[in-house]
Amino acid sequence: MYLLAQEQPKFTIREASEEDLNIVMYINKTVLPENYPMFYFKMHLRNFPKAFLVAEMDGKVVGYIMCRVEFDNLYTQPERVGKKGHIVSLAVIKEARRKGIGTALMKKAMDAMKNFYGADEYYLEVRVSNEPAIRLYKKLGFKVIKVIKGYYLDGEDAYLMARLA
Ligand code: ACO
Ligand code: ZN
């Protein structure tokens, strides 16, 4: 009888700390055109620490997710006002992709936004050309609510995607 030794990529997800922000900023700059100054990361970490997560592989940070919760009309139920869990930025370094890290970061951040900050829904913007990310979000139950014309600095449109919490 054979036992197939399947390589199981091991990663862990944990809450970010201020010490992680340099590497988070570095990953953000390396893989996304939407970059932010340090104070922007710090502000999210201080205000929504339970929903700012990093993924580690072999003791190294390889991805992050940064969120905030806003109060406004919901995208999923426009007649209702509520708490909107905004996924502001998600990224995984190239070498660590397609191992489930993006999915795990999303799921844990969504749980945290609901359990700690009372989110009624989750939403995000994504480039209309960003097929990997759009697929990931669709798999997690997000639907396109609308197209935001020229949302990005280079003129590309965004999909506003959302789902109930
Ligand atoms: N092509 C097609 N589908 C893909 C791809 C790809 N290259 N990558 C992910 N997917 C889809 C697949 O359906 C995949 O499931 P499968 O592997 O079982 O087929 C599913 O997404 C889940 O993939 P994960 O392994 O969980 O995702 P990963 O860890 O690779 O991270 C991410 C996905 C975050 C989009 C990564 O590709 C990345 O960092 N990209 C660059 C930065 C970026 O685009 N971030 C999102 C911007 S939008 C925002 O921040 C709100
Ligand atoms: Zn946004």
- Ligand 1 and 130: CB distance under 6 A: yes
pLDDT at residue 3, rounded to an integer: 58
pLDDT at residue 5, rounded to an integer: 58
Shortest CA distance to 144 belongs to which of 77, 98, 75? Answer: 75
> CB of 144 within 8 A of CB of 126?
no
Q: Tell me which residue has its CA closest to atom 7 in ligand 1.
A: 132
Measured CA to CA, the distance from residue 33 to residue 31 in angstroms comes to: 7
What values do phi and psi take at 89, rounded to 5?
-155, 135
Measured CA to CA, the distance from residue 84 to residue 77 in angstroms comes to: 11
pLDDT at residue 33, rounded to an integer: 95
Atom of ligand 1 nearest to the CA of 101: 29
Q: Tell me which residue has its CA closest to atom 24 in ligand 1.
A: 100
pLDDT at residue 4, rounded to an integer: 59
pLDDT at residue 8, rounded to an integer: 66
In the chain, which stretches have pLDDT less than 70?
1-8
Q: Which ligand is nearest to the CA of 100?
A: 1
Measured CA to CA, the distance from residue 35 to residue 26 in angstroms comes to: 10
Global pTM?
A: 0.96
